[in-house]
Chain A
Amino acid sequence: MSTLTPTTPAKPARGIRSIEGKAPRAQRESPFARVSAMIVMAVFTLYFLVPIWWLLVAASKNRSQFNSTNPLWFADFSLFENIGNLVAYRDGVYLKWMLNSALYAGVGALVGTIIAGMCGYALAKYNFPGRELIFNVVLGGVLVPATALALPLFLIFSQISLTNTFWSVFLPSLVSPFGVYLARIYASASVPDELIEAARLDGAGELRTFFTVSVRMMVPALVTVFLFQFVAIWNNFFLPLIMLRDETLFPVTLGLYAWNSQVNQIPVLRDYVLIGALLSIIPLIIIFLLLQRFWRNGLSAGSVK
């Protein structure tokens, strides 16, 4: 931040100099800068992608080839056979986990986004006593790490005998203080009061105005909230770890973790862990790609303002 102060006075001086007739410098950057920038990007592309590439290659090999062939290149391509084995293992428990994750994260993020959007919208667009209090409490919630809540949640849920149920993981995941925060900021910036006023004059109720008019203007923010909440729930580990005993309720992360810690006793699990890990990251990558257009729109909308 300290850089801000010295540069501000420097600017007018430079401006004067350029008025004195210094021609704008050629837009081309030096080849050296270009090449070194590209080298940095290329090296880090390897750093980020090679582990995933390795996972793909490893998941496509059968057991005997895993250690005897080039680890970064394909041998006999038995990926689909491996997937078949994984899915068949123990009556398809892996598929069950994927389905669970999809439910926890998909439904959880969807409901969570709607309620966070509604709350953020109300905080942005209505004046009511306690508004700032609510907002500040929610803001404090952003700084409270979700993992700190896992243990007390477990204790509470065990009081009402709800641990080891779908709800014990699903319900707490619905709450996204960060989502409210984002929705409020976005709503106050992008939903014009005149529009709400116009909808009122047309006789639309407040809720209807929100769901038919305002929501549309908030789409980029809501997609962003959905995306991050989806990822947060999909990646959540501590809460399911502490809540769930029944394997059929596990999300895929917890299931793979459980398998991975048994690899020494049951060596065949190593293959399943690797294939399962590969499959488990595909849904998130697809979601990011599909929604990319939306959050890119969000970006451009943000930069116009």
Chain B
Amino acid sequence: MSAPAVPLTDAPGSAARKRPRVAKPEKPAGAKPRVQHKGAILAFVLPFGTLFALFYLVPIGYAIYQSLLVIEREGTFGQATQVFGGLTQYILVFQNGPFWTSIGRVLAFGAVQVPIMLGLALLFALLLDSPLVRGKKFFRLAFFVPYAVPGVIAAIMWGYLYSPNLSPFRAVTENINFLSADLVLWAIANVVTWVFVGYNMLIIYSALLAIPTELYEAARIDGAGQLRIAWSVKIPLIMPAIILTAIFSIIGTLQLLAEPQVFRSFSSAVTSTFTPNLTVYSTSSIPNFNLAAAFSVVLALATFILSFTFLKFTQRKEAK
């Protein structure tokens, strides 16, 4: 699992920069490079390429196109027609208070939940990799099992666990209402953490396994303790894996949908605009597809920019 995770992380920026250099010597300057095995390459790339174009690129283009349209009606009950409206929908998006509240909500969620989740994942991975823990196989599996629980199912399950009258922990839930407006966001954060700690732990743990043991031996002989080895040798070496998990977590946070959608049947505090994606969903069920498409575009852009900035930021730090 990790084998790929390790080299993966430095790819987006650096691979793009390095590759052409490798490829260049093969093409003589000016001459058109002769591509061998054209047919085979086409056969390899086309199936994925076609589907990727149809179900990734076209929808993105179509969403942008839809977001530029407005609906005009002749009179109140007249025929509705879609006409080009420029950035009208985007102006509506930027004026939409609940949408930005929901963005703020998921950002707060991410700022708290992602560090906790990744901190735990890192701690468990380091413990599994240290000689301190016995029964590694068992713990690895036990911590990973929640990942096999789909988000919807996990949310249903925890919904019952939080419930004031059905929970097995009624002693707690009768006194603390986890489903109240104040706490429900963090109740959802717990569900997400519960599901994904083990997954992130495995990615980080796999990166740890890929470190040659001689590196620890050297540090050990130098008298470094486990903590010191973890801090000074292991963590710097697995930073790419940690960054990878962080990016996926950030993307996941902004896309939060299934868990809050399920929690709507447990708690009235979860509104139809609780997260950005819920806003998209409820706007499209009105139906107001053009506005929903504009929400989607803004959300995808925000996600892209955030994860990209994070990537660049961490890479720059690494380079220093």
> Interface of A with B (CB < 8 Å)?
1-5, 7, 10-11, 14-15, 17-18, 22, 24-25, 27, 29, 33-34, 37-38, 40-41, 44-45, 47-49, 51-52, 54-55, 58, 66-67, 71-72, 115-116, 118-119, 121-123, 126-129, 131-132, 134-141, 143-149, 151-156, 171-172, 174-175, 177, 180-182, 185-186, 189, 205-207, 210, 220-221, 224, 231, 234-235, 237-238, 241-242, 253-254, 256-257, 260-261, 263-264, 273-274, 277, 280-281, 284-285, 288, 295, 298-303, 305
Which B210-231 residues sit within 8 Å CB-CB of chain A? 210-212, 218-224, 226, 231
Cα separation A140 to B49 with both chains bound (whole Å): 14
> Interface of B with A (CB < 8 Å)?
1-4, 6-8, 11-12, 15-16, 19-20, 23, 26, 33, 35-41, 43-45, 47-49, 51-52, 54-60, 62-63, 66, 120, 123-124, 127, 130-135, 139, 142-153, 156-161, 165-168, 194, 197-198, 206, 209-212, 218-224, 226, 231-233, 235-236, 239, 247, 251, 254-255, 257-258, 261-262, 264-265, 277, 280-281, 284, 289, 292-293, 296, 299-300, 303-304, 307-308, 314, 317-318, 320
Contact sample, A vs B, 10 pairs, CB 8 Å cutoff: A37-B130, A152-B59, A175-B52, A182-B4, A234-B150, A235-B150, A284-B149, A302-B4, A302-B206, A302-B209
Whether A303 touches B8, Cβ cut-off 8 Å, given contacts A128-B41, A285-B145, is no
Q: Let me know if B153 and A256 touch, CB within 8 A.
A: yes
Q: Let me know if B145 and A52 touch, CB within 8 A.
A: yes
Q: Let me know if B4 and A221 touch, CB within 8 A.
A: yes
Q: Let me know if B49 and A24 touch, CB within 8 A.
A: no
Q: Which residues of chain B come closer than 8 Å to A41, judged between CB atoms?
A: 124, 127, 133, 135, 139
Q: Let me know if B149 and A220 touch, CB within 8 A.
A: no
Which of the residues A49, A153, A189 comes within 8 Å of B142, measured between beta carbons?
A49
Q: Let me know if A185 and B142 touch, CB within 8 A.
A: no
Q: Which residues of chain B come closer than 8 Å to A121, judged between CB atoms?
A: 44
Cα separation A48 to B59 with both chains bound (whole Å): 38
Which of the residues B36, B38, B56, B132 comes within 8 Å of A144, measured between beta carbons?
B56
Cα separation A15 to B251 with both chains bound (whole Å): 43
Q: Let me know if A122 and B41 touch, CB within 8 A.
A: yes
Give B311 Cβ to nearest chain A Cβ, in Å.
9
* 11 additional A-B residue pairs with CB within 8 Å, beyond A115-B47, A129-B35, A149-B60: A18-B221, A37-B132, A38-B132, A41-B124, A155-B63, A172-B55, A235-B258, A237-B152, A242-B284, A257-B262, A303-B209
Whether A44 touches B158, Cβ cut-off 8 Å, given contacts A54-B168, A149-B56, A185-B8, is no
Give A13 Cβ to nearest chain B Cβ, in Å.
9
Q: Let me know if A281 and B149 touch, CB within 8 A.
A: yes
Whether A185 touches B206, Cβ cut-off 8 Å, given contacts A15-B222, A151-B284, A221-B3, is no
Q: Let me know if B156 and A260 touch, CB within 8 A.
A: yes
Give A36 Cβ to nearest chain B Cβ, in Å.
8
How many A-B residue pairs lie within 8 Å, measured between CB atoms?
A: 331
Q: Which residues of chain B come closer than 8 Å to A11, judged between CB atoms?
A: 218-219, 222
Whether A144 touches B300, Cβ cut-off 8 Å, given contacts A7-B232, A253-B150, A281-B149, is yes
Q: Let me know if B56 and A118 touch, CB within 8 A.
A: no
Q: In the complex, which residue of chain B has the Cβ closest to the Cβ of A45?
A: B142
Q: Let me know if A277 and B156 touch, CB within 8 A.
A: yes
Which of the residues B6, B153, B281 comes within 8 Å of A280, measured between beta carbons?
B153
Q: Which residues of chain B come closer than 8 Å to A146, judged between CB atoms?
A: 255
A-side interface mostly? helix
Which of the residues B41, B60, B135, B149 comes within 8 Å of A126, measured between beta carbons?
B41
B-side interface mostly? helix
Q: Let me know if A145 and B56 touch, CB within 8 A.
A: no
Q: Let me know if B1 and A299 touch, CB within 8 A.
A: yes
Q: Which residues of chain B come closer than 8 Å to A138, judged between CB atoms?
A: 52
Q: Which residues of chain A come closer than 8 Å to B152, judged between CB atoms?
A: 235, 237, 253-254, 256-257
Which of the residues A115, A132, A207 comes within 8 Å of B20, measured between beta carbons?
A132
Q: Which of B3, B16, B19, B251 has the most CB of A within 10 A?
A: B3
Whether A152 touches B224, Cβ cut-off 8 Å, given contacts A44-B143, A48-B145, is no
Q: Which residues of chain B come closer than 8 Å to A5, judged between CB atoms?
A: 320
Q: Which residues of chain A come closer than 8 Å to B159, judged between CB atoms?
A: 260
Cα separation A260 to B262 with both chains bound (whole Å): 8
Whether A143 touches B222, Cβ cut-off 8 Å, given contacts A44-B143, A153-B55, A281-B149, is no
Q: Which residues of chain B come closer than 8 Å to A22, judged between CB atoms?
A: 223
Cα separation A206 to B45 with both chains bound (whole Å): 13
Q: In the complex, which residue of chain B has the Cβ closest to the Cβ of A227?
A: B1
Q: Let me know if A152 and B60 touch, CB within 8 A.
A: yes
Q: Let me know if A148 and B158 touch, CB within 8 A.
A: no
Q: Let me know if A155 and B293 touch, CB within 8 A.
A: yes
Give B150 Cβ to nearest chain A Cβ, in Å.
4
Q: Which residues of chain A come closer than 8 Å to B49, judged between CB atoms?
A: 119, 134
Q: Which residues of chain A come closer than 8 Å to B293, judged between CB atoms?
A: 151-152, 155
Q: Let me know if A51 and B194 touch, CB within 8 A.
A: yes
Cα separation A240 to B254 with both chains bound (whole Å): 19
Q: Let me know if B232 and A171 touch, CB within 8 A.
A: no
Cα separation A284 to B150 with both chains bound (whole Å): 9
